[in-house]
Amino acid sequence: MQYTFLKKQDMKKRLLLALTLTFALSWNAQAQIVESNEEEIEITDQNGETEYIELPEAMTSAVDSLLHLYNTQTYLVPDTNCNYPDFNPSYDQETYVQRLRQLPTIMEMSWNEIVQKFIDRYASRMRRSVSMMLGVQNFYMPIFEQALETYGLPLELKYLPVIESGLNPNAVSRVGATGLWQFMLATGKQYGLEVNSLVDERKDPVKSSYAAAHYLSDLYRIFGDWNLVIAAYNCGPEKISKAIHRAEGQKDYWQIYPYLPQETRGYVPAFIAANYIMNYYCEHNICPMLTNLPVKTDTIVVNRDVHFDQIAHVLDIDPQQLRELNPQYRHDIVNGTTKPSAIRLPQSLVGPFIDQEDSIYAYQSDQLLTKRTVVEVNDDVPTVAQTRKSYSRSKSSSSRGKKGKASKRGRKGKRGSGKSVTVKGGDTLSEIARRNGTTVSKLKKMNKIKGNTIKKGQKIKVK
């Protein structure tokens, strides 16, 4: 019997992962009580009237969505040196106003009672979500910032995915908005994101970030006001234009507020609150999770279809890590045959991929890539159907006094019937010939086979 002994380093990694998962799951158990179910915020105005503002979807599911990410499970750990007491201190209005004023932003970060409600939500009921997002942001913020910088946009827009997706690249909303930036299908395609049965580039952190920056840039050219821009990003420019018209031409978000869809009324306040909490989390005793950033990555372009399991087996990489690095591929298949397609890998595996490319393509290709390019149609006469046909003819002929002739036809039909088998994995011509009492040469002749190559699923005549 062969025994495998784990190295101390591997044991430490596994222990750390187990502790991380235990910590995260315990958070989830607590968060279920305080962070789920409620999907609205209650606001009471100066006249004592109550209004209910719908929360952005990510604010009701952030913890659940982040827990299952590979990055979260692999690279995030609790900060055991953070000794903040687990409660949310209260401050007076002027403190919040002053803090928002001090944020280094171009966009307006104004305070009002609605904004305060969203800040309170993040700082109290969602504090565990905030802790995880503060850790997860290290994976994505450099990508967001580069895309925004390319289009000359305010960098504070990098917090838009906090309220859009809770920083989950695989997030899908109730209405089908997908990815970190929550693109709808039509808008994603309009901004160059490919979506088909195999690929959904709305989940690609890099491509979707540049598409989002492009879209935000176009919206600013329409409205010229950043509050209106991010409101339009949520509900579409048409609804913002209608709200402006109903407000008699007012182009101030807070003036057109009553004419906006319910969720959009909370969208700008949630965005301001996200900017606040992602900068002032310490003041609310929130400990960010620590991030051990993954190794550097690089891309390689393929011109053939390849399955993640083929890459994972040959290069000894976790398939889940491949999925996390390449979330745009919907069924673990990189469709290089359709067009040259990029695969993101840890930088250390790019060279081995090139060196072992043939082995990668060859590994279980008939099992993992089952879409056939050429198929043969079974032209055998089914035995049961032919027997019924012969019986019918025999009976008919008997009634006309031509029993002998009908019997001859029936015997002729029976002799002409054939038998076919379907090739199974591992079958060879010699094995098929042996099982069916024939020879390889006869099989080749009957099936017009050149050489000895047969494929799984192929029909072979044996009689």
Catalytic (active-site) positions: 164
Angle between helix 113-123 and 93-102 (nearest 10): 90
C-alpha 167/C-alpha 205 separation (Å) is: 10
